[in-house]
A and B are shown apart, each in its own frame.
Chain A
Amino acid sequence: KAGVTQTPRYLIKTRGQQVTLSCSPISGHRSVSWYQQTPGQGLQFLFEYFSETQRNKGNFPGRFSGRQFSNSRSEMNVSTLELGDSALYLCASSSGQRTSGTTDTQYFGPGTRLTVL
């Protein structure tokens, strides 16, 4: 099975711009979660999508949004970029079949490195 893929791998934007990141989960997985990783904060949960619906959400401002398509591919959008948005954005897929979603094994993609200048 192919693993989780993320595009693009690297991105450079300037403050105020917006960006869209893409994630293709492992075939058959219906849950896609997004995380932000920075050296000082570690991994922080953004949101999770399951069957095209946002099932869980972390504590990030509304500038961060996402969606999931019928083929389970997911996109994450960040509007009005700020310097502090520079980070590695990771997506993870899982079957998502358990109600809570927290005991599924998650498989992470390689991440998209976003730099905001």
Chain B
Amino acid sequence: KNQVEQSPQSLIILEGKNCTLQCNYTVSPFSNLRWYKQDTGRGPVSLTIMTFSENTKSNGRYTATLDADTKQSSLHITASQLSDSASYICVVSGSGGYQKVTFGIGTKLQVIP
């Protein structure tokens, strides 16, 4: 069964600190992996998307890495800001269309002053 597991489930960090969120998946065959940010009461917003051949992708203070061999991805947030408080969702697509899109439950990040 295709699964996407994210850790930690929730995280509280001080403003200005860095943090790393993890995503492990079992989706196979693999097509791509995306990270989304979802603010409370809003729809998810795409941060990065990586295919099999890409092992890192940056979007401002967000850097995603991918190890397709170990089926792991991480999202690193640098110099966190209060506006980074949100849920971060890892989404893995397998070959074959939407039938094989698997979503993680998400990591809820709270940045405090």
Select the stretch in A12-20, A73-81, A108-116 that faces chain B: A108-116
Q: Is the interface of B mostly helix, strand, loop or mixed?
A: mixed
Contacts A102-B97, A103-B51 given; indicate if A108 touches B44 (C-beta within 8 A): yes
Determine whether A26 belongs to the interface, using a CB cutoff of 8 Å to chain B. no
Are A48 and B43 touching (Cβ within 8 A)?
Answer: no
Are A110 and B97 touching (Cβ within 8 A)?
Answer: no
Are A108 and B101 touching (Cβ within 8 A)?
Answer: no
Determine whether B95 belongs to the interface, using a CB cutoff of 8 Å to chain A. yes
List residues of B (54-93) whose CB comes within 8 Å of A's CBs: 89, 91, 93
Contacts A33-B98, A48-B98 given; indicate if A103 touches B43 (C-beta within 8 A): no
Determine whether B45 belongs to the interface, using a CB cutoff of 8 Å to chain A. yes
Are B103 and A56 touching (Cβ within 8 A)?
Answer: no
For A102, what are the chain B residues with a Cβ–Cβ distance below 8 Å?
A: 31-32, 93, 97-98, 100-101
Once bound together, how far apart are the Cα atoms of A115 and B43, in whole Å? 18
Chain A count of residues within 8 A CB distance of the other chain? 25
Contacts A43-B103, A108-B45, A109-B43 given; indicate if A103 touches B98 (C-beta within 8 A): no
> Nearest chain B CB to A110's CB is how many angstroms away?
5
Contacts A42-B89, A45-B98 given; indicate if A103 touches B31 (C-beta within 8 A): yes
Closest to A42 in B: B105
Are A105 and B43 touching (Cβ within 8 A)?
Answer: no
Contact of A103 among B32, B45, B100 (CB under 8 A): B32
A-B contact list, 17 entries, CB within 8 Å:
A41-B105, A42-B105, A43-B89, A43-B103, A56-B98, A58-B98, A90-B43, A90-B44, A92-B43, A100-B95, A102-B31, A102-B32, A102-B97, A102-B98, A103-B31, A110-B41, A110-B43
- Give 7 closest A-B pairs by Cβ, nearest first: A108-B43, A56-B98, A43-B103, A102-B93, A42-B105, A42-B103, A108-B44
Question: Which residues of B are interface residues toward A (Cβ below 8 A)?
Answer: 31-32, 41-46, 49, 51, 89, 91, 93, 95-101, 103-106
